[in-house]
Every structure is written in C-alpha cells, then in structure tokens.
Amino acid sequence: MATGFYTNPIYLEHDTGNHPENADRLRAIDKHLRYSGLLNELEMRPGCTAELKEIQLLHSKKYIDSIREAAELGRGILGTPDCIISPGTFGAALHAVGAVLDSVVQVADNKIDNAFCAIRPPGHHAEHDAAMGFCFLNNVAIAAEFLQKNFGYQRILIFDFDVHHGNGTQHLFEKSEKVLYASTHQDPRTCYPGTGFAHETGFGSGKGFTLNFPLPPGTTDDRYLEFFQNKIIPQFEDYKPDFILLSAGFDGHTRDPLAMLDLTENCYHEITKQMRTLAEKFASGRLVSLLEGGYDLEALALSVEAHILALLH
Ligand SMILES: [Zn+2]
C-alpha cells in the first residue's frame, strides 16, 4: 500500500496572472518534491474530471453554468474581484473535484493508504452558489457528500487548518450531524473572510458538529500544537471519525504574505502525524488531504513536503 499523490497539468490552465493564487504554486511543489526525491516514494495519480452530477451534489446547476460561461467568455472575474477566471478555469475546477473523488474512492477501496491532492483552484471558501476567496467549487465538501452518498460513511471529519476560515464548507454542513467540520484559523476579527467565531457551532441536528478555533495573530508552533493536542484532538477522539478529510492550507506559515500566524513546516508535520494516528485508530487509516492555500512559494513547498512525509511514514 502507498500514499497517493494526485496532480495534473490541467491545473496550470487556471490562469490568474500574478494573483497570489497562481500556477507557480503547483510548479514550486512539483519542483521541490522532484528535487528532494520524495515524488519517487509516492504513487503518482493523474486523477480525472468530475461528472456534473457529482458537482451538483452541493452546487446549483445555475451556478455551475455561470462558471462555465464566464470561463468561455473570458470574463476575467466571477462575482468578486478575488476570483479571477480564465478560459481554463472551468476544466481545472472540474478536474480538481474529480481528483479528490478518485482519491477518496481509492482510499475507501483500500487501493492506497492515504493521499494528497495537489490541486487548484482551491475550494473551502466556495458556497453553494457563489465563488469566494480564490475558490469556485468546494472540493472537500463535495468529497464528504460523495462519501456519505456512495459509501455510507456517517462520521466524516473535515479538519481545515488553512489560516482562513472555510466558510463554504461550514455553511454546506452546518445543519448535518454526519460531517464534523473543524477549523483552526486566524482570528476572524483580523483575517478574511471574517467568519469562524467559536460561537458558530451549527444548527438543528448539526448543532455541535461545527467547531471553530480562532487563533491570535502571532501564534507559534508550540502554542498551536499545545492547543491542538489538549483541546482539539480529544474532541476528534470523542467523535470517532470513520473517514478523515484535510483541507490543507499552508498559509499559516510565518513567511506567508496573506496572514499573520507564525507557524513553520514542523507544525504541519506534527499536525499531520497526529491526524494520521487518529485515522489509524478510528478509520482504518482512511485519510485524504487536499491543497487549499499557501502563498509563499518556498514555504509552501517545504510545508507540503513535511505534510507528505508524515502521511508516508
Ligand atoms: Zn487560506
């Protein structure tokens, strides 16, 4: 068995110019993992394009059509200026979802132990019918819904350690007890998108299945990991997840230009190790991680390497 690594040149065709979320992010990861030799230890997978009915598990047809049309017409942006769209955006976005769905199927079917998906555009800000924060389709949320519908998992844990709150993922599951959405992120009073306060805990039967852990600017590895170990992991152990999905954003890194946490790649290694242990304890190891943010190219490449090393060993 092995760790799968999903990536595909189609993601480079989502052309955002010199926007922070650009194709050089994946080029930097690829170059670094080739140079370090780590790619040779991974099971390389090209993924595939998702079907529209899979995207429609969580996004409206009208919204999906609006992405396709804006891409075809070369509109420049979709809805908000931070969601740059190019002719290649729709194909890349469909394929990003497809790669994640293929990876969860392979893990669920015991073909691989776990997987990391180096995909873009990212997804955790995408809402049911709106693009937000560089995101168009909510990759991780569609994977969770797909796993519930097709494999019957009832206790899916999505842990989102991107420095920004995953508003889209929270909103898509805040009324459900079948998915626990947990997020650590920079204090929303000081950081985009301004949601993710600790009092946001879900609604109806989903009450208690949304967990938000805002962190003050300047949070270091030691402080993060102490909090993670003492306050977060025990709640995950109580939940006993049967499948774990990671919204892996590395923009909490101290070198990241978009936020103000002081984490290093060592922190991402430790988080991943602990999440892997949790997956082994409760979910027969089933864990899939997918790329969200991370905008300093060197910090991103080092963080992804540290993350994958913990998935592998
Ligand atoms: Zn982010």
Question: For residue 56, which of 92, 106, 105, 97 has the smallest C-alpha distance?
Answer: 97
Q: What is the pLDDT of residues 183-217, one digit of tens each?
A: 999 999 999 999 999 999 999 999 999 999 999 99
pTM of the full structure: 0.98
β-pair type (156-160, 114-117): unpaired
Rg of the chain in Å (alpha carbons):
17
Q: What is the pLDDT of residues 144-155, one digit of tens each?
A: 999 999 999 999
CB atoms within 10 A of CB 231: 11
In the reported structure, the alpha carbon of residue 110 is separated from the centroid of ligand 1 by a whole-number distance in angstroms of 31
The amino acid that residue 109 corresponds to is: D
In the reported structure, the alpha carbon of residue 267 is separated from the centroid of ligand 1 by a whole-number distance in angstroms of 16
- The CATH homologous superfamily for domain 3-312 is Histone deacetylase domain (3.40.800.20)
In the reported structure, the alpha carbon of residue 123 is separated from the centroid of ligand 1 by a whole-number distance in angstroms of 10
Q: Give the per-residue pLDDT at 81.
A: 86
CA 169 to each of CA 15, 125, 157, 219: distance values in angstroms, whole numbers, following the listed order = 24, 7, 12, 24
Interatomic CA distance for residues 65 and 55, integer angstroms: 11
User: Going along the chain, which residue ranges are E strands?
Assistant: 3-6, 43-45, 76-78, 80-85, 114-117, 156-160, 179-186, 210-215, 243-248, 287-291
Residues with CB under 5 A from ligand 1 (ion): 162, 164, 249, 251, 293
DSSP 124-183: TT-BTTB-BTTBSS-HHHHHHHHHHHHH----EEEEE-SSS--HHHHHHHTT-SSEEEEE
Q: Which of 32, 125, 164, 185 is catalytic?
A: 125
CA 281 to each of CA 112, 243, 284: distance values in angstroms, whole numbers, following the listed order = 17, 11, 7
Place of tokens 């990759």: 139
Active-site residue, 125 included: yes
Place of tokens 């924060």: 133
Q: Give the per-residue pLDDT at 78.
A: 87
Q: Give the per-residue pLDDT at 26.
A: 98
Q: Give the per-residue pLDDT at 311.
A: 98
In the reported structure, the alpha carbon of residue 151 is separated from the centroid of ligand 1 by a whole-number distance in angstroms of 29
Interatomic CA distance for residues 219 and 19, integer angstroms: 26
Q: Give the per-residue pLDDT at 300.
A: 98
What SS3 class is residue 214?
strand
In the reported structure, the alpha carbon of residue 171 is separated from the centroid of ligand 1 by a whole-number distance in angstroms of 17
In the reported structure, the alpha carbon of residue 164 is separated from the centroid of ligand 1 by a whole-number distance in angstroms of 4
In the reported structure, the alpha carbon of residue 292 is separated from the centroid of ligand 1 by a whole-number distance in angstroms of 6
Q: Which residues of the chain are modeled with pLDDT < 70? A: none
Q: Give the per-residue pLDDT at 131.
A: 96
